C-alpha cells in the first residue's frame, strides 16, 4: 500500500508584507498543488476584503487583529477568507484581496496535500466565479 506523506509549511510574515502576495509566493516556491491553511493569526495595518455579494473590495484601516483565516491554496489559484477585529472588538470578514498589509506579524501554517490532491479553479457559469476542482493524484 502506498503511504501518503503530507508536508507542513510554517512561515512568519513581517511588518509591511502583503498577505495575499505572500501566500502566492509561498505556494509557488513550495510548488503547492493542493494546500490548506491550518492557522493564520497576526495583525494587519490595513485590510482589503470583498464582502459577500459585493463585486468590489472594501478597504479597512487598522490596527486589526486577524481572528480567523482559512482557505485553499494551489499554484492554480487560491480562495482565502479572513476575519479581523478592530480595537473595540468589532469583527468583520470576507474574501482576501491584495492590500492586506502586516502590522506586527502573521504566523502562518499550511498543510500541503499535493501528494494526494491537485486543486485547480474552473469557471462556474452558475456562480460566475472560478470554483474549486479537487482531483486525486494517481499515486
* Closest residue by Cα to residue 81 from 91, 95, 67: 95
* Domain spanning 7-136, CATH architecture: 2-Layer Sandwich (3.30)
**Model confidence at 3, in pLDDT bands (50, 70, 90)?**
low
This prediction's pTM = 0.91
36-55: pLDDT as tens digits: 999 999 999 999 999 998 98
- Return the domain boundaries, the chain: 7-136
Separation of alpha carbons 39 and 68, rounded Å: 8
CB of 108 within 8 A of CB of 91? no
Amino acid at each position: 500500500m502506498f503511504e501518503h506523506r503530507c508536508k507542513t509549511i510554517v512561515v512568519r510574515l513581517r511588518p509591511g508584507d502583503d498577505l495575499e502576495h505572500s501566500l502566492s509566493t509561498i505556494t509557488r516556491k513550495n510548488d503547492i498543488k493542493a494546500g490548506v491553511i491550518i492557522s493564520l493569526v497576526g495583525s494587519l495595518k490595513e485590510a482589503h476584503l470583498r464582502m459577500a455579494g459585493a463585486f468590489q473590495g472594501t478597504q479597512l484601516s487598522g490596527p486589526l487583529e486577524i481572528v480567523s483565516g482559512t482557505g485553499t491554496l494551489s499554484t492554480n489559484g487560491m480562495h482565502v477568507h479572513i476575519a479581523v477585529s478592530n480595537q473595540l472588538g468589532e469583527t468583520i470578514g470576507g474574501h482576501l484581496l491584495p492590500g492586506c498589509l502586516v502590522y506586527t506579524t502573521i504566523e502562518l501554517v499550511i498543510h500541503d496535500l499535493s501528494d494526494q490532491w491537485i486543486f485547480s479553479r474552473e469557471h462556474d457559469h452558475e456562480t460566475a466565479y472560478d470554483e474549486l476542482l479537487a482531483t486525486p493524484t494517481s499515486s
